[in-house]
Structure 1
């Protein structure tokens, strides 16, 4: 286990370093000058003098190499710079918006797991019957529909047409239903197909046939053998999906005006707020890495043989 932890920490260090480097140079070759955009956004007359003064204040007059070295130092010292717009530490701004994204991700994960388990298990129990066929069609549709289209469709049907649920903000529990469903439906459909394929493959394994030959009931085989072996891929899928929901919910948060990390980084991109954009990418990368480390550790606890690979 000690070797496992050291390897993962080394991987984390290398990934953060490369992600930080790539992000730094990508944001600087993107079109648009932060100083000019900020002056226009605040209705300040744009002139060469005002642009130069603001660029100097933001530290953009230094050489790119100097800015890069300073950025790398800041990352590993825990100081991720100050937002050009709010003039607040980037790490504080990200942490302040994390609870909203975390709430949305947990709700989306719950919906995803419910869909995955229901469609995946029912389609195996009722294989080639009506429920299985309906489940396969729903899983195919769910995995084929783009997230942004599903979000707009849910707003039109549930909010505009029927008036059942709010479509924007984070006022109460009702506000989370539509964005969480948009996040969870597509991933749930994809994972349901994977779970169904895994369970059907396991049904052909020798240990299942041997259990049937010993007279063990189908229900007992399914609960105590098939589901036990299916636990490992479910854990992996759950961890990967949760990491995706935390770091990749930008589209959903923007559509539903959810005040989380995704909406914040979109606003920062529009304003060319370099420290926030760079900090968000590093923050999302760390979330991905930490969650995957936890998933790897849980997988080893479930199946110790993985530690030997």
Structure 2
């Protein structure tokens, strides 16, 4: 009995000595496990954020290319097209903004369509005016469609970060520069590039090592991934182009995603994500009609002069 009593006293004394150290031991174990737990939790969240941003870019590229191949445009950009195409150095600089605006307004509204006749008098180069105005208006319209599809990404709609696309298209593109294209190193940067194979003169090029390539940003660590270059003139220049009927058009979205994972974000604060789609521009200026049976037949198209006698004229 005495031995059993001594064992009980020894166990009781041991418990009393161990009891004060138990809370400190649990706190130490929690402190050691907390960083690993946080990394796992934030890693799952980070992976979900990256996946969501990438899927949004993919969806934006799909929206943009589906709109681009139709040849459609938003008539609200026709006023901007007139300004851009009549500024000094532009293709219709000699025509003048007022004259081109009056030609476009001859049918009652600004819609990037110059009629072939005004008050019975034929309009010279009406088709060139119409094509140029519509081609310009298509670019911001395609960009809007791409941004609508990319809804959900936290991009910065700030000219200093993501640029001013209308100003970029309006800016005289006589020099090899990327003015108004924003800061590709800034978190939340979003860029939409539109390029085509028109006349084999437009092509996609990687970033050059030209300090004037940036708008007040010089950093080889955060280059634009690729740009559309017009090589048709004596000097190549940066300018987007959506192509014409039968041309291939490519939409490229670039987004600088901000990371939030502790420790990782301190030395890797952002991640550049890209998405692109390519398609064949429909021959939208040639209308065709199909029926439930039979082959494809040509539909009537807008003809500068009415036929005599006034009968249906199937023109290609």
TM class by shorter chain equals: under 0.3
TM-score in terms of structure 1 length: 0.26
TM-score by length of 2: 0.25
Which structure carries more helix by proportion?
Answer: 1
Select the structure with the greater relative contact order (CA < 8 A; seq sep ≥ 6).
1
Which entry has the higher C-alpha Rg, 1 or 2? Answer: 2
Give the strand-richer structure, 1 or 2. 2
